[in-house]
């Protein structure tokens, strides 16, 4: 699944004309911690269960790719998101660890 079709709606807000308009460029520009609450090709709001299991919208099928994706399959795990391990390390390092009560 390549998601090469230009997006028509912002995946986070549902607004028209997202910037950038290519899915992977949008992820890189806005960071890998921004949830895709809307389908960027139809503008429909995504179900909370779908968002929870696919925060970055990698499983969303653009209208022209519906048949291709079934034949190709997809990888969910195994480092398929560039930059994610580094981003997770930074996020963990930035967290404040609570001090246990004595």
Give residue-wise pLDDT tens across range 12-44.
999 998 888 899 998 888 888 889 999 999 999
Determine the pLDDT at residue 11: 93
- Could you give the CA distance from residue 99 to residue 1 in angstroms, rounded to a whole number? 45
Determine the pLDDT at residue 77: 53
pTM across the whole model:
0.62
- Could you give the CA distance from residue 98 to residue 57 in angstroms, rounded to a whole number? 32
Is 73's pLDDT higher than 80?
no
Cα–Cα separations (whole angstroms), residue 48 to 45, 51, 88: 9, 5, 22
Determine the pLDDT at residue 61: 87
Q: For residue 69, what pLDDT band results from cuts at 50, 70 and 90?
A: very low
Cα–Cα separations (whole angstroms), residue 88 to 24, 33, 54, 60, 94: 18, 9, 16, 23, 10
Collapsing DSSP states into helix, strand and coil, what is residue 16? strand
Structure tokens at 17: 């004309």
Is 66's pLDDT higher than 70?
no
């Amino acid at each position: 699944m390549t998601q090469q079709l230009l997006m028509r709606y912002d995946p986070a807000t549902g607004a028209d004309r997202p910037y950038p308009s290519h899915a992977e460029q949008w992820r890189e520009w806005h960071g890998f911690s921004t949830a895709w609450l809307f389908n960027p090709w139809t503008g429909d709001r995504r179900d909370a269960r779908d968002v929870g299991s696919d925060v970055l919208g990698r499983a969303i099928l653009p209208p022209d790719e519906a048949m291709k994706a079934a034949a190709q399959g997809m990888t969910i795990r195994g480092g398929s998101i560039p930059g994610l391990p580094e981003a997770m390390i930074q996020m963990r390092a930035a967290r404040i660890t609570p001090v246990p009560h004595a």
